[in-house]
Every structure is written in C-alpha cells, then in structure tokens.
Amino acid sequence: MPAEPPVESPTSLAQAFELLGDDGWRPIAGGTDLMVQITGELAPPPERILDLWQLDELRGIKLDNGWLVLGALTTYTEIRGAELCHQHLPALVDAAATIGAAQIQNRGTLGGNIANASPAGDTLPVLLATDAQIVLGSAAGERAVAAASFWTGYRQTARRPDELVLRVAIPLPRGRHVRFRKVGTRRAQAISKVVICLSWREDAGVWRDVRVGLGSVAATPIRATQTERVLEGAAARRETADHAAATIAAEIHPIDDVRSTAEYRRVVTARILHRLLREAGGW
Amino acid sequence: MTVTTRPPRVAPRPEAPVAPVRAPDVGDLGVGLARSFPLRREGPAKLNGTAMYTDDLVFPGAWYGQTIRSSEPHARLLGIELDPAFDWSKVVVVTARDIPGDNYVSLLTDDQPILVTDEIRHHSEPVCLLAASDRQTLREAKHRIRLLTEPLPAVFDPLEATQEFAHFALAKGDIEAGLAEAELVIEGTYRVGHQEQLYIENNAMIAVPRPDGGVTIHGSMQCPYYIHKALKRALRLSDAQAVVIQAETGGGFGGKEEYPSIIAIHAALLAQRLGKPVRMIYDRHEDLAATTKRHPAIVTHRTGVMRDGRLVAQDIEVVMDGGAYCTLTPVVLSRGTLHAGGPYACPNVRIRGRAVATNTPPNGAFRGFGAPQTEFAAEMQVNRIAETLGMSPLELRRRWVYRLGDETPSGQILRESVAGEEVLERAAEAAEFERTRVQTGRVRTDRLAGSGSVARSSDVLSSASQKVARGIGMALGWHGAGFTGSGEVKLASVASLELSSDGRLRVLTGSTEMGQGTKTIFPQLAAEQLGLPESSIEMAPQDTSIVPDSGPTVASRTAMVVGGLVIQAAARMRALVEDSTGRPFADSYLEYATEHDGLRIDQQFEPYPNVNFDDETYRGDAYPAYGWACAVAEVEVDLDTGETQVRSVVSADDIGKAIHPVLAEGQVEGGTLQGVGYATIEEIKLVDGRYLNDRLATYLIPTSLDAPRIEAILVESPFSGAPHGAKGVGELPMDMPAAAVVAAIHDATGVWIHDLPATPERVLAALHGIPPPPLPGISTISARSTEPAPSAQDAGTPEEALDPRPDAETDPQPLRGPQP
Amino acid sequence: MTYRFNVNGDDVALDVPGMRRLLDALREDLGLTGTKEGCGEGECGACSVLVDGEVVDSCLVPVCQVDGREVLTVEGLAPQGGMDILQQAFLERGGAQCGICTPGMLMAARAYVDHGGAPVDEDIREAIAGNLCRCTGYTKIIEAIAAATTTGRT
C-alpha cells in the first residue's frame, strides 16, 4: 500500500482553477503515470493531488473551424474509437494504439501524455509534426502554446503551476500526409526506443511544410529541423531519402539507456525515415 | 511494437486473412481432451478468486516487515545508523547479532549470511530488518537508516574472477587426437545473460509465532522442507517448532526453490522478536533487484568434423557466473556441464566447466538449471556447422543424434527410452521444416545477391527494397530426468497414502503445486491404481507438520519420482486391503478402514536398478533417463530495425508418459515461451553490480502479442524405472527454443547472433557493423563509481546517461534509503 | 471522505483516503482478495477489474475516481459457487496454471466478450496484451476465450 496524499476532486473547471490558486497541487488525470510514480517512491509523494477526472469540460472530440480539437481527458481508447480521428488524423489513432494495452488505453489521456512530458511520450511527435496548439487554462483565462514551444526541458513544460492543459487543437490543412512509426521494446506494453512522426503537404511534385517529430532521442520530444529543411521543397526520391537519413543521423544525439543504445536509436531513426520516404515515393 | 500509418496512395496490400482460432466442435467442448482427464483440482478456486495466495491471508494484528539492503556491490559494513530524530520505539529492528542460530542460509555451503555482519558482497544484500504496525511508519523508518560503509574493489567479469565455487570435467576418448584428425574445426563462443523467473506472484512470507516458542511460516514456495531445514538452524528450533505451510503459489520456475528460505528466516526473526505475526510481501522492484536469476554463462566450443558430416571431436568450456554466494551453483554447473555436448554421439569429448563468484546478487535455480545455457551453445554450433558444410540442419542432426546403445561423455550407455530421432522427425514434419527452409533460403540468397553480401557503410542509414525477412530454424535438446547422479538416493524421498478410519483417502507429500498440476495428477495416479474415481482421493496440504519430505519440487522430478512413489504406495495399499478382505479395493476399503482403524502406507524412494554414478570422477549414469525434445521456430525479422517477431514454434517433447496431456502441453507451451523470451527480449543490464532492469516496465517478458503460435507434440518413450514411464516435462521444453529462434534469425538475415538475448540492437549490429551493445551478463561500471567515494553524496546527482526507470533520468534506488 | 460505488452488484461506502488505490480498497477494505497485485505499475494486469464495463488496472485507479461507478471483479463474474462461460472454458481447456494472472485475465476477457469480441486469434491477443502470463504461453488462454465467445453465440 503506497503513500496516499490528500486529494480534491473538483466538479467544475472554475473550482479547479480556484484550488490551483494555491501551491503544491499535482494534477491527476487517468493516473497511468502519476500513480506509478507514487507507488515507485521515485521522489517524496506530491503534497496534494488535484483530481481532474470529474471535469467533463475536458472531454470530447470535435471539429472546430477546420481544426481537430480533443479535450485533455480524451483517452487513447476514445481516440481509437473516434470517427473524426480516423478520418482526419489516423496517425494519432496509430500512436494511441501503440500505447500500453487495453487497460492503459482505457485510462491514459492525451492531456496526461502532454503534461507528463516524457521524452518517450508516443503522441507527442504527432503533435509536433502537425503544428498542434496546446491550450492551457487558469483562473486568468486561456492561452495557446504551440507544441514546438511546449516541452522546454526534461519533464518540463510551459504549463505554469496554476494552469491545466484544457485541450489540444490540431490544424487540418488540405492535402497533408502524416505517417507515424514507433519502435518499441516489444509488441505491447512497450516504451518506445524510437518514435517518429512525419508530415508533409505535396505541391506540384515536391514536399512542403515538412515536419519531423521525434521521441526517445532527446530529453524532450523534438523536431528534426535540419532534416525538415533538407526535405522542404524536395521530392521523395532516393537521393533525397539518402540525404535526409544522413542528416537526421547527424542531427540527433540519443543516449544509451536500459532500453537501447545511442547508436541503435541513431541508425534506426534514419532507416525508418528512409523507409517512410521510400514508401511515399513508391520506389 | 511497430506501427506504420498506411499511406493511402500506395495500393493497399491484401489483408492477411484473419486466423480464426479453431472453434471447437460440439463434441469437443465438454467432451474434449480435458474431460477424459481430471479437471485441475484447485482450478475452480483459482478461477473464482477464492484461492488464497500468501498476501490474501489475514492474520489479525500482523505487522509489516521490510528488508534494508546494501546499495554497493562490495564494501565493508562499518555500522548501521538509526536517525536519533525518529521514534524507534514503534519499530522493531533486527540485525545479524539478533540471530539465535547460525548466521547462514542453509543450502549446500555455509557462505551466505542471513544478514550481513561485516562485509557486503553484492548490491541489494540484506543488512537489517524492520517491522512496524503500519506501512506508513515502515516507509518513514526505511528512510531513517543509514549504512556506514567503506567501498571495496568489486569483481564483475567472470573471466577475471578468482574465487571458484565449483568445477567439473568430463572426458571421453582422446580430444587432441580427435581435433587433429578432424578435417574442419569450427570454433564458437556464446554468451548468455541473466534471466529472471518472473513468476507473476512476488515472493511472500508470513511468520506467525507459536506458543511452543517456534514459528509457523505461510508462504509462496516450491520446497517447504528446504525452508524447514534452514529455519531450524537459524532460529534453533526443533522439527515440531518449525512449521512451514505452502500457500497457493503463483509460479516458481525455480525462483522459489531456494530463495524463499531467506525471506522465511527474515520474517521469523522479526516475528519472534515482536511476538506477533509479520508479513514480508516483496514488491516487484525488490523481487527483481534482490532475488536469484539464471546463471549467465560463457560457453566456448571447438568442434571437429569431417567434410562428409561425421562428428569426431567436441572440446567445450563452460564458465558460469554464480554471483556473490554459492547457493545452488555447483549443481547448476553440473547439469550444464553434463548437457553441454548436446544430444549427440561423439567419440572424443572434453567438457570443462567452472563457476565463479562475482559481486552481483547470487544466481540460482531457473527452469532448465544450467542446461538452457549450455544447450544454446551446443545447438548454435550444430547449426553453424550445418551451414559451413552446406548440409541441412535436420540432416546433420539425423546423423549425430544419440541412438539406443550410444555412450555419453560421462560413460553412460543409453540403454532405453531414447527418442531423439523421433522428436526430431515429428517436429520437422509438423513445421514443414525442409520445404520452408528451401523457400526462405531462396529469398535470402536473392536478397544478399542483390545488395552484395558486404554491407556498405551507406547502407547503414537506408532502407532496402525488402522490409521483412522470414526464417526457420531448429534445435534439438535433451534433459536428464530427476536429480543428477546419486541425488535421488540421497534425498530418500517419501510419499504417503492414508486411509482414515472414516474411509477418506488422501495423498501426503511435500511436493508442491505451483501451476504444473501436482494436485491434479497425484490423485489421478492413486485413483487409477485403486480403481476409484479421482475425486475420491484428497491431497493433504503441504504443511511440514502433516506431510513427509518428498524432496524438493524441482528438477522435473515430481511426476516421475514422487508420482512413482504415489503409484507404489497405492499399489501396496490395494494389495494389502484386497489380501485382507478378499474383495476388490473399491468394494471393500470402507469396511477395511472401519475395522482396522485406517491405514497408512509410506513409500520411500528406492534407487533405480542399474543406475550407477561416481560423484567423485563424474563417470557413469548421470541420470536414470533422458527426455528429448526438438523445437522448430519461424520468425520474421524487420530488416529496417532488427526486430524479431517469432511467429510460431513447434515443440516435440518426449516425456516418457503423458500422464495428463492437457497439463503436459501446458508445460511445453509455457516453457517454450520462456525460451522465446530468453532468446529475444528478456535482457538484464547491470551497472556497478546492480540490475538496471528492476521494474516490470524494464524487465520484459512476452505479452500475448509477442507470443508465437505454439504447437506442442507429446511423444512417449517410457522409462522402465518409473511405474508410469514418465520422465519429467517441466524443464525439457526450455532447453532448445532459444537456439531455434536464433537459427531462424540467421535463416532470415544471414547473420549469426552469438549472444543472448538476440535483441534488435544485436541483430542490427551484426547486419550492418554498427557497434553492438555491451556483452550480456557483465556489469558495466559507471563513471561515478571510479571517483573516490565522497563522504556526503550530492542527493541530486543523476546517473550518467542511464535511465533505468521508465522515462526517468535518475534512479532513486529506493532500496538504499535516503541520500545523506 | 466517503466514496460510494457499486462492487459486483452491491453498493459500498468507503471512508478512506481518496488516493487509496482501488486495488487496496478491494483487497483490504472490502476483503475481496481475488484481484491480485503483480507489479503495482500497470504492467502485468493481474489487478485488472472492470469499471463501468471497461478493463483497467486497479493499481492505477484512485478510489476518488470510482465514486458513483460500477466495479466488477473476478468474484462478481458468476453467482457464488458457480462459474460463468469464461471460467468454465478456462477450467476445461487448461487456461489457468498457477492462477495468479487468472482473475485479471478473466476480467480482460470478460470485457472483450462483452464488447462483442470474435474468436479471432490476433484480436484476442490484443485484448489480453495487458495481462502477463508466465505459465501458459497464452495458448490455452486464447483457446478458452475463443471457445467462450463461440459458445456465447450459440
């Protein structure tokens, strides 16, 4: 029986914001990350816990003005079952399907994945690659932070202590392609060794607005901006793929850890990118 | 798991047909295999949640116990400091000084202390014990203890270790002459790392003080009488004062063979001091960090063959890492050495094995017990030699496999029950080995010809036109049944059958149920002898105050040896009653029971006839009989990432007699998957002698999506020394799947992986020449540990570039307690 | 604070800390020890229960989040002394060996069957991918679940 810090379960966002006016609150959504941290005694338990589970205002998936909007408490199961997600962002569905297994997918949330800021968070490269906006809220109001600016350091985010992640808004430009690939440690219940999301728009035979989101190769999820520049304005030919693969291999600096080696991550990231380009180019 | 978003523009690949599980015929369900054999005796309780595992047991007033462990691999223990600011009156503290008896865990050698006195020899070694009435207090107290230590140099590489636990040598013929005569000598070095048993129920013990001054132990265990013996010595208890009762046990696989004695003693020490029951229920992290694992090994082969395929010489060296203390290492090494040549007839053999100490947690029993390690190496050699000679791996084995009358390296003539050929043919046929191998070989040849056999450096970063490669591989294994040599004679096991005066029949044995089916087959065997329905035979609880010592539930001996005793006891009882009443047992036993006030038959093991082994010279009949098995594995390798998916394994196993086919298949299926995990994802890395994979998020066993389709084929080549012909089934299936998987990876990719597990990192390194990961089984050393030990460590220093905890930058090492 | 929810058809009221794990509330406060702890980190699934029909790891669910919900554990699968189709199939096909993963496995299987799961190997494997078994190799578990779905249909 692990530590049991005090908890409050507000029934409205307004109530939650008011509580967050004081210090020391640690929000909990589905608990799939936070409960493990408490049980595992990784650090002294949080002083007090803010239970978000009753905040229905944080639920729901909808289309809003050409953007796909998902509430922070959207679970991976809900993403996998949402027609809107299948239609407009199947890569997010693919990412959700690789997380844990049924039990975790029923409880793990998109907002949790975002706020937990693990470098291995599987949805995060998708958010980076699609220019998602993370909407934060507090008693002072709402503000949107671009995914590219959201993860600021190892397990650190732009979220202030009095804020909550409310929702994610993902633009849906016409003609955009998004591809997701995760290399896990096994076929389920697996933390990624490498996770990549590639998106682009095709324009007269060349790629535009290229985004490469990566996880598990740095202290935060990152964009491979040098690689994006190589692909921007290029066609998905063999030479481009070779150049992009070499660029990404040089651009990232992964580490050795319990799951894998720096060299493996570097090489496999490049190989997968090369494969995605091969598949897109049809050669 | 690898998921690719399917690009809508590319023509969609045809969906693989969904594979329906064969829906049972109406005749199957309910009238299928299971119904001709008894249903699992304790099955309903396990299925409806009423089975009582240790942590389910309630003892009012029980306190909670905790072990304080070392955080260094080798150090002098200078003192144990209790924070004076903490109220210690609410906590019981036990140190080595508080042990009434000998501060040794009784097993083979007196070297492992129950609690450290002055020298810490491995990370997570138990130093002192705490008990408190609630877990919050215990949690706080744990952080208020500091171990004062002085680091000592640590040894991690078994090839550099100087302390030896055991060595064995086998010799047959003339090895030098054999190697000289050989037309080809193929060399190979193979390394296997640790493997964790990963029973899903963690180790757990509850100690309850007795009015007679003794202790009753309730716990998760395989061997109540091992605990009984160790407890008596540590606490100076009589036979009657030390009572050990097995609770429902959620898996063992050897991991609960010897280790539970330590926990039982720990709990008992606290309970005796306190005068109340004490619960020591390990959490997964502690269980992973502190308990025994499979011995890592380095096995070197030099095999001499003729170009026509004849085997002429095997020169084999085995080095096993025992960890810091002896535990069962000599016996593990013994079995590993005896099996190291594989199931093959060879005229000139030299096998030398040694096991050494390193400053890592002691290794211990795990299903296979030395054989999976050495048989992996043996089968790798056979498969590599087949490749070198351009022969089929099946054909080569057909030529080499033992036949009736052949002689083993210990000089044993295999006089009966030899089924290596049969399992080889059955598995190969069921898996369509040759036909598949031709297909995969063709694809591999085309691919390698297209790309050139030497990988260009530019290839490292690029994909190839083929993404996935299929391969098939095989391995053949053997497993000596029961204890080695005179082990069974020394055990002198007893099983009893009792008819009470009110007519109830029950089997009394110390053999435990841990899922393999002891409680189902013993009543079945007795009932068959007595001519009664199986439901009329009860099983006495595994309580040392009630049942005799039937020897440990290990070594695949339960059905074979103890089952044999049950049959013999039943046969004797039947004869006795029928002689007395003149009527069949079934008709007359109730009357007999009333008239004679019951009856008890104790059956003790008698040596198998004509089985002779010299423990000194290691010559003779090492085992009364051998089981034989062949595994054929099919894999798919992702050529971009090196990931291997094992798609199917066929395992044909000769177990002498399938007493209960459903249970026997269950052993084959479970053992096969453990072998698959051993080959692929069950990896343990160490830093400074500490396991990095110390949580379930980082020590990985196969999920249902990782698991292959497994086809178990039971073969029966009975052993005449056992009344039912059974030779054991628990471990045999574990001995060869790993080599079959690695052979399949080679068939798919063209590369041989010599080290287990064959992780994607190793596969990619072999394919493209990138630096491979560190060697398995050997601890690396962190940069921090090479600095002089500071007297006050910075609590916030992160582990350099290592994250042993999912997504964590630092390892908090909760077992250590607070940072000063 | 008192949390009120339904367990196996019975309403319960527990005055316990809100961050108590549902697993501990079930095992210790309610004495329902059928649900097991294998890892405490949501990896093994031995603690699986259904909350409003969805399978979850009860070691990761704080009691405050099941307030007002329906919880189903292994003890609630069948009326006392009986066995449901899944349990019966496991018994007949050897789906349980040591039994420690079995309660959680049954709950994951129950959710699969209740959601209309078909006797398809890959789908069943995915449904129980969050439940580790060390004894069986999963073979007979999958056969049992498939048999239960088929039987359930006829």
- Coil/strand/helix, residue A57: helix
Task: Encode B47-111 in three state secondary structure.
Answer: HHCCCCEHHHCCCCCCEEEEEEECCCCCEEEEEEEECCCCCHHHEEEECHHHCCCCCCCCCCCCC
Contacts of A177 in chain B (CB under 8 A): 7
CA of B60, closest CA in chain C: separation in Å? 12
Average pLDDT over residues B482-508: 95
The pLDDT score that the predictor gives to residue B36 is 75
| All domains of chain C in start order, with CATH | 2-76 (3.10.20.30), 85-151 (1.10.150.120)
Q: Is the pLDDT of residue A17 over 70?
A: yes
Q: Which residues contact B364 (CB under 8 A, 6 or more apart)?
A: B254, B255, B257, B258, B259, B291, B292, B293, B327, B328, B332
Say yes or no for a CB contact (<8 Å) between B803 and A258.
yes
The pLDDT score that the predictor gives to residue B772 is 87
Chosen for mutation from B25, B29, B46, B709 (greatest number of chain C CBs closer than 10 Å) is: B46
Say yes or no for a CB contact (<8 Å) between B47 and C83.
yes
* Chain A partners (3+ C-beta pairs within 8 A): B, C
List, for residues B444-456, the tens digit of each pLDDT value.
Answer: 999 888 765 555 5
Distance CA B337, CA B25 (A): 47
Q: Please list the residues that pair with B245 across neighbouring strands.
A: B218, B543
Q: Is the pLDDT of residue B357 over 80?
A: yes
Comparing A5-19, B453-467, C68-82, C118-132, the range with the smallest average pLDDT is: B453-467
C130 interfacial to chain B (CB closer than 8 Å): yes
CA of C47, closest CA in chain B: separation in Å? 11
A224 interfacial to chain B (CB closer than 8 Å): no
Neighbouring C-beta atoms of residue B109, cutoff 10 Å: 16
Say yes or no for a CB contact (<8 Å) between A189 and B809.
no
How many Cβ pairs closer than 8 A exist between chain B and C?
205
Q: Which of B7, B807, B812 lies nearest to residue A279, judging by beta carbons? A: B7
* Residue B458 binned pLDDT confidence (cut-offs 50, 70, 90): low
- Coil/strand/helix, residue B497: strand
Contacts of C136 in chain B (CB under 8 A): 666, 669-670
* Residue B783 binned pLDDT confidence (cut-offs 50, 70, 90): confident
The pLDDT score that the predictor gives to residue B6 is 31
List, for residues B208-247, the tens digit of each pLDDT value.
Answer: 999 999 999 999 999 999 999 999 999 999 999 999 999 9
Spell out the CATH class of B493-604: alpha beta
Neighbouring C-beta atoms of residue B506, cutoff 10 Å: 21
The pLDDT score that the predictor gives to residue C81 is 80
The token duo for B593 is 């029971």
Q: Is the pLDDT of residue B47 over 70?
A: yes
Q: Helices (DSSP H) in chain A: which residue ranges?
A: 13-20, 34-39, 76-81, 83-88, 90-97, 102-105, 110-116, 124-129, 147-150, 225-231, 238-251, 262-281
Contacts of A119 in chain B (CB under 8 A): 807
pTM greater than 0.90 (yes/no): yes
The pLDDT score that the predictor gives to residue B770 is 87
List, for residues B545-576, the tens digit of each pLDDT value.
Answer: 999 999 999 999 999 999 999 999 999 999 99
Q: Is the pLDDT of residue B791 over 50?
A: no
The token duo for B326 is 């002896």
The pLDDT score that the predictor gives to residue B784 is 65
Q: Pairing between strand B619-620 and B613-614?
A: antiparallel
Query: Distance between alpha carbon B310 and the CA centroid of its chain, in Å?
Result: 34
The pLDDT score that the predictor gives to residue B453 is 52
Q: Do domains B55-153+198-292+792-802 and B164-195+293-451+464-483+619-768 have the same CATH topology?
A: yes
- Kind plus residue range of the DSSP H or E element containing B749: helix B737-749
Contacts of C44 in chain B (CB under 8 A): 200, 284, 696
Distance CA B577, CA B588 (A): 8
Distance CA C10, CA C17 (A): 21
The pLDDT score that the predictor gives to residue B761 is 98
A18-22: list long-range contacts, CB under 8 Å, 24+ apart: A18/A139, A19/A50, A20/A50, A20/A138, A20/A139, A20/A161, A20/A162, A20/A163, A20/A164, A21/A139, A21/A162
DSSP state of C26: I
Is B427:B393 a contact under the CB 8 Å cutoff?
no
Quote the radius of gyration of chain A (alpha carbons, Å): 19
Domain formed by B55-153+198-292+792-802, architecture: 2-Layer Sandwich (3.30)
Distance CA B298, CA B759 (A): 18
The pLDDT score that the predictor gives to residue B457 is 57
Average pLDDT over residues C16-23: 98
DSSP state of C62: B
Instruction: Give counts: helices (H), strands (E), chain C.
Output: 5, 5
C122 interfacial to chain B (CB closer than 8 Å): yes
The pLDDT score that the predictor gives to residue B494 is 98
Q: Is the pLDDT of residue A176 over 80?
A: yes
- CA distances to A113, B814, C22, C45, C106 from C60, rounded to whole Å, are 15, 20, 8, 10, 18
Say yes or no for a CB contact (<8 Å) between A103 and C55.
yes
The pLDDT score that the predictor gives to residue C83 is 96
Q: Which CATH fold topology does B164-195+293-451+464-483+619-768 show? A: Aldehyde Oxidoreductase; domain 4 (3.30.365)
Q: Which residues contact A106 (CB under 8 A, 6 or more apart)?
A: A75, A76, A77, C54, C55, C56
The token duo for A179 is 């591809």
Q: Hey, where are the domains in chain B? A: 55-153+198-292+792-802, 164-195+293-451+464-483+619-768, 493-604
The token duo for A259 is 């799951």
**Nearest CA-CA partner of C138 in B604, B670, B441:** B670
Q: Is the pLDDT of residue B485 over 90?
A: no
Share of chain B above pLDDT 70, in %: 90
The pLDDT score that the predictor gives to residue B449 is 84
**Nearest CA-CA partner of B142 in B97, B83, B95:** B83
Percent helix, strand and coil across chain C, each rounded to 5? 40, 15, 45
Angle CA B791–B792–B798, to nearest 5: 120
- CA distances to A39, A45, B693 from C41, rounded to whole Å, are 7, 15, 14
The pLDDT score that the predictor gives to residue B354 is 98
Q: Is the pLDDT of residue B204 over 70?
A: yes
Which single residue is written with the structure tokens 């000679």?
B389
Amino acid at the residue B125: E
* Chain C partners (3+ C-beta pairs within 8 A): A, B
List, for residues B124-161, the tens digit of each pLDDT value.
Answer: 999 999 999 999 999 999 999 999 999 999 999 999 99
Q: Is the pLDDT of residue B801 over 90?
A: no
Which single residue is written with the structure tokens 């086998």?
B170
Q: Is the pLDDT of residue B789 over 70?
A: no
Distance CA B338, CA C100 (A): 35
Distance CA B819, CA B795 (A): 5
Which single residue is written with the structure tokens 């039912």?
B724
Q: Is the pLDDT of residue A277 over 90?
A: yes
Average pLDDT over residues A233-244: 96
Q: Which of B202, B674, B695 lies nearest to residue C41, judging by beta carbons? A: B695
Share of chain B above pLDDT 90, in %: 87
Contacts of C75 in chain B (CB under 8 A): 48-49
Distance CA A45, CA A61 (A): 33
CA of C16, closest CA in chain A: separation in Å? 10
Sheet with A222-223, edge to edge strand ranges: A176-184, A192-203, A206-215, A222-223
List, for residues C37-58, the tens digit of each pLDDT value.
Answer: 999 999 999 999 999 999 999 9
The token duo for B701 is 């066993």
The pLDDT score that the predictor gives to residue C43 is 98
Distance CA B61, CA A270 (A): 60
The pLDDT score that the predictor gives to residue B215 is 98
**Nearest CA-CA partner of B260 in B199, B209, B321, B330:** B199
**Nearest CA-CA partner of B557 in B602, B618, B490:** B490
The pLDDT score that the predictor gives to residue B158 is 97
Note the ipTM here.
Answer: 0.98
Q: Is the pLDDT of residue B419 over 80?
A: yes
Q: Is the pLDDT of residue B804 over 70?
A: no
The pLDDT score that the predictor gives to residue A43 is 81
Is B635:B432 a contact under the CB 8 Å cutoff?
no
- Which has more pLDDT, B15 or B404? B404
